[in-house]
Copies of this chain bind each other. A is one copy, B any other.
Amino acid sequence: MATPAVKVYGWAISPFVSRALLALEEAGVDYELVPMSRQDGDHRRPEHLARNPFGKVPVLEDGDLTLFESRAIARHVLRKHKPELLGGGRLEQTAMVDVWLEVEAHQLSPPAIAIVVECVFAPFLGRERNQAVVDENVEKLKKVLEVYEARLATCTYLAGDFLSLADLSPFTIMHCLMATEYAALVHALPHVSAWWQGLAARPAANKVAQFMPVGAGAPKEQE
């Protein structure tokens, strides 16, 4: 088999890396996940800093193009291979995808990440969960999810009645959240719950979820 032209650098347990992988899986792009170890500090080595000067993962190489920042990577993959997931070039739909992608980035993900870091990754980082941080962010997340509930009562997906990156982008952090007791926040909201189940049932989401075994004790790096 020929080596895929597309490479992703990083560890798939990261919701940021797996966001990029989800876009590739949804678009049906053949790719290679180049293994890196966070514990060994691979992201701080010169060869990785040459790919991303911020020393973060994921990085995508697509031919001569080197991209970082998971949402930029996801946009590129879909623009090239499945533009309907960005609104298909229609102004209004594309604008709504952008709005709900920004909502994911600036309203939903910050509290969700804070909860997941404390509840899922803290043991992996060798420390106890900080419950005060969890409680504060649960309150924030609850309010955000109430807005999602109201939105999803008016349309099937976040940007309208079509699946888009606005729905896929939160999948990986929500997959981690759903492995905690705060999954109850989602279960309490019927429209959010139905939307989540629809996302989680997608073959691409299923495949990416397998890279992220957060439900079964401490997460392991994919190496």
**Chain A residues engaging chain B, CB cutoff 8 angstroms:** 53-54, 65, 67-69, 71-72, 75-76, 79-80, 91-92, 94-96, 98-99, 101-103, 105-107, 144, 147, 150-151
CB distance from A188 to the nearest CB of B (A): 18
Pair A91/B80 contact, Cβ less than 8 Å: yes
* CB of A23 to closest CB in B, whole Å: 12
In the complex, chain B residues whose CB is within 8 Å of the CB of A67: 95-96, 98-99
* Secondary structure of the A contact surface, majority rule: helix
User: Chain copies in the assembly?
Assistant: 2
Q: Are B76 and A147 in contact (CB under 8 A)?
A: no
Max chain B CB contacts within 10 Å: which of A76, A79, A92, A99?
Answer: A99
Q: How far is the CB of A208 from chain B (nearest CB, A)?
A: 20
- Residue in B53, B65, B79 whose CB lies within 8 Å of A150: B53
Can you add 6 more A-B contacts, CB < 8 Å, to A54-B144, A69-B102, A76-B94?
Answer: A53-B147, A69-B98, A72-B95, A72-B101, A76-B95, A105-B105
Q: Which 10 A-B pairs have the closest CB atoms?
A: A69-B102, A72-B98, A76-B95, A72-B99, A53-B147, A72-B102, A75-B98, A69-B99, A67-B99, A71-B102
The interface centre, meaning the residue of A95, A96, A107 with most chain B CB atoms within 10 A of its CB, is A95
CB distance from A41 to the nearest CB of B (A): 17
CA A71 to CA B75, docked complex, whole Å: 15
Distance, CA A105 to CA B65, complexed state (A): 21
Asked whether, in the complex, the Cβ of B95 is within 8 Å of the Cβ of A54, the reply is: no
